[in-house]
Structure 1
């Protein structure tokens, strides 16, 4: 048994670090979410909504994003038409947690790891704001592609970007980079 533990030690360290980081950060996020009332929109989702609105305002779009009166989401009105809602799951925090857990599991030097995490979080956040803005516009003009755009195309982009960030991390910055 000791032979197998020694042989698979790098994998076991990676897996245990990944799951420990993922569980700890997820629990912290859940505690954060529990500080909000049932029909409140959490602060991160509110900031995402404001940033989407600011981005679209830069392009002179007729956009209004505000909290639903009776529900815990943001309503997105584009060209005076209610199009979509932004819920807590749209704020990309779950994707960011996955990214952070992976980078920590393949950590490198402390400063490099922390900088990569910070810049990765910023990149994912900005990509997510752009994703929501593009989704709003595309759903206005092509509502028949809602399932494809929301369920396939944009998740592929955001998860694909995270995958590329992971590859860059492992090959260039982690302790396993050659």
Structure 2
């Protein structure tokens, strides 16, 4: 398969948002430079980013600084999600997309992720198990090997490593 063709099928939201010293709109449109302002706004709404963007002094035309340093962690993640929404790929890879967020930001980002995961193949890599509990199939790995597989309820019933991890995170 052609590498560029494969790349075009995949959207990635990673732990560290990759943002540029440019406007909000241009950072979102990076995945689709020809996108209209209307499509950029729609993507921001799906990503739960529209409200905070509208409160910025220049809205979608606000420069966000190097690496998005004028934004909070949750705002950066939601812009990254909006970029992927605009790309609209059939395959999503979410690599620790909520790990560096506070509880309030995590809730907003989690809602945005659930919005974009509908009707597409999504691969979630997470240590926060709240991120993956609604997945159709959860694969538990230890030392590079698959040790359990199933949905949340099946893995709880197995009373194995996944259940131990859930219990430990519930306890904290």
- How high is the TM-score relative to the length of structure 1? 0.28
- How high is the TM-score relative to the length of structure 2? 0.29
